[in-house]
Amino acid sequence: MIHQIIAETPEILTEEIEVPHYSIGRLIGKGGKTIREMCLSSGAKMEINRLEDLKGPDEPRVVRLMGSRSQIDAMLDLISERLLEEEKFRNKLSASAANRETRTGQTRQPKEPVPIRPVAVPVEKDFWDSLGDTAASKQDTLPTRGSGFLEVYVSAVECPGHFWVQTVGTKALQLEELQTQVTAFVSTADAKQNYRVTEVVQGQMVAARFDETDSVFYRAKVLGETKDGKVDLYFVDFGDNVFADKQDIFRLRSDFTSFPHQAIECKLANVEPKGGVWCEEAITLFEDLTYCAQWKVLHCRTLGHSAHIHTGELTPQVQLFDTSNDQDIDVGAVLVEKGFAVAVDSTNQRQKTTAASGDRASGSSQASSFSEPTNGTASYDKRDEQSSNDSHGRPGS
């Protein structure tokens, strides 16, 4: 009897496969839901290699499957279905990115700063303090140090010490839908009659265009008003700053403000400007290396955080890599190689951003925390969910 049971017990096999690094979030699912369902359905166990084992930003992830031949085959079918879903989703993102408008030169401060006067707030309050938490508390975040690589777009640049990224993923499509709804709202008679801006209020959330030729309205925050009546705007989903006329700006309905602001302020890690200030040639090279506002994917890794000189909010110090060619390009290393920057240890970088790092933006970056649990029949790194669930991009225009 015992020999019969042993003979009928299927042999437990172990099989390893490689999957694209960007597909891990799809395999794990929110809270590990997908991986648990696949294990229960197939009967096989799944383990995913640790982030610490990765040698580069574009390296495939190793997935180990354990079970009988039939269980592993069933799991392979389920994994193939998820990978196909991910590829379809990324094709949709690529189509959206291809339709986006490319922009350059809209973020940096002018050589002669336009004078800004405080409006609708007590004059004794500091400018940045007066903006309050209306937007700062809603900015999206990047994973913390040790969370591996993340795909991003660089959406706006002031200098290598102060730029903005959007992460690539599901929120890109959510943002696109939001922009469509905001644009449709602005065209209604109700908006034109009741929501057009008549009084400039610092910190107010509004809908505005990047310029007069743009047909899409985007979310922006009011920073102030110039002496000639122009309104200084910060586009919370991209990082750009523009000056606009009041008659072209509309107050946002409250339901349009709940979606997290998608522009994430960052500082390039492991480098400081040679001479203490980023020169124009260095900024131009950085824009070229990061494909600023051209919606080309880079890989980003958070090494630490520094405190904003005005707000004290934490800004991620990140490495950026271009993996689109045969050889990966470390953006910071190129700046050092070209003589525009000096290499430093990110752990010893200044804890306060300087004037060279810019101070135009009004968003903030708070550190997020991720644990690394395992779940019964399947081992995985929960931090990978960030690549699937927290992501963004500028919509088509």
Q: Is pLDDT larger for residue 307 or for residue 252?
A: 252
Model pTM score: 0.65
Question: What is the pLDDT averaged over residues 113-126?
Answer: 38
Predicted local distance difference test score (pLDDT) of residue 59: 74
Look up residue 110 and give its DSSP letter.
P
* pLDDT classification of 112: cutoffs 50, 70, 90: very low
Q: Which of 66-70, 113-117, 278-282, 308-312 has the lowest mean pLDDT?
A: 113-117
Could you report the per-residue pLDDT of 312-337, keeping only the tens digit for each?
Answer: 778 899 999 999 888 999 999 999 99
| DSSP code at position 273 | E
Which segment of 148-157, 159-168, 170-179, 191-200 scores lowest on mean pLDDT? Answer: 170-179
Amino acid at 47: E
Per-residue model confidence as pLDDT tens digits over 209-245:
998 888 999 999 999 999 888 999 999 999 999 999 9
Distance CA 337, CA 340 (A): 8
Residue 281: pLDDT band (50, 70, 90) is very high
Q: Is the pLDDT of residue 146 over 70?
A: no
Residue 364 in this model has a pLDDT that exceeds 80: no
How much is the mean pLDDT over the chain?
77
Length of the chain: 397
Question: Is residue 125 scored above 60 in pLDDT?
Answer: no
Which domains occur in the chain, in start order?
A: 2-96 (3.30.1370.10)
Residues 6+ apart with CB under 8 A from 248: 208, 209, 212
Q: When comparing pLDDT for 307 and 126, which is higher? A: 307
**Is pLDDT above 80 for 341?**
yes
CA dihedral 340, 346, 348, 351 (to 10 degrees): 90
Q: What are the φ/ψ torsions at residue 38 (nearest 5 degrees)?
A: -65, -40
Q: What is the pLDDT of residue 291?
A: 95
